[in-house]
Amino acid sequence: MLYPLLFETNLFPIVWGGRRLREMKGMSPIDEPVGESWEVSAVPGKESVVVNGPLTGRNLRELTQEYGADLLGKAVQERFGSEFPMLVKFIDAESDLSIQVHPDDDMARREHDKMGKSEMWYVLDAEPGAYIYAGFKDLLTDEQYKQKVADGTITDALARHEVKSGDVFYIPAGRVHAICGGILLAEIQQ
């Protein structure tokens, strides 16, 4: 019988990371910057591992395959099979992350045999003046886009959004985006 599962801490040191995640989790600080804490993951090699009850030591990928609809729900299993369809994490961006665009389901399946990647961000904390990029300010031609990438001025064309605690952003697959420095957020991604 399934029960509420608790998972091991799953931290990822990253050069742009900060020091707030260890503090948030009640852990001793270290000098190494931590950028991400994966809370719920079935990503191969980075799975959440159960730390309570009779399923201790089992990972979420195994449990999804074994328990199917009992763990995922019938509608989710019908849509995604035995593949856990999301990743939940905290991100502490002390400095800017790269500018990114993620594929939708069709392209991701065709090119990488994976699911696409839409994201939702909930801003937990933000330094004054902190911002994200999401989308373009104006339409660009292919040539204008290539030129801005080549000359390093692409951020001039991106829509910049100042953030504060409590803000929520939906970043659908295909939308250019970047989390910039001074932001602590929760991310739920496909």
Task: Report pLDDT digits (tens) over 89-105.
Answer: 999 999 999 999 999 88
Using CA atoms of 162, 165, 167, 172 in order, give the dihedral in degrees to the nearest 10.
80
Task: Report pLDDT digits (tens) over 103-136.
Answer: 988 998 899 888 889 999 999 999 999 999 999 9
DSSP line for 81-111: TTS---EEEEEEESSPPPPB----HHHHHHH
Q: Residue 153 — φ and ψ, nearest 5°?
A: -110, 20
pTM: predicted TM-score of the whole model, two decimal places: 0.92
Task: Report pLDDT digits (tens) over 65-90.
Answer: 999 999 999 999 998 888 899 999 99
Q: Cα 56 vs. chain centroid, distance in angstroms? A: 25
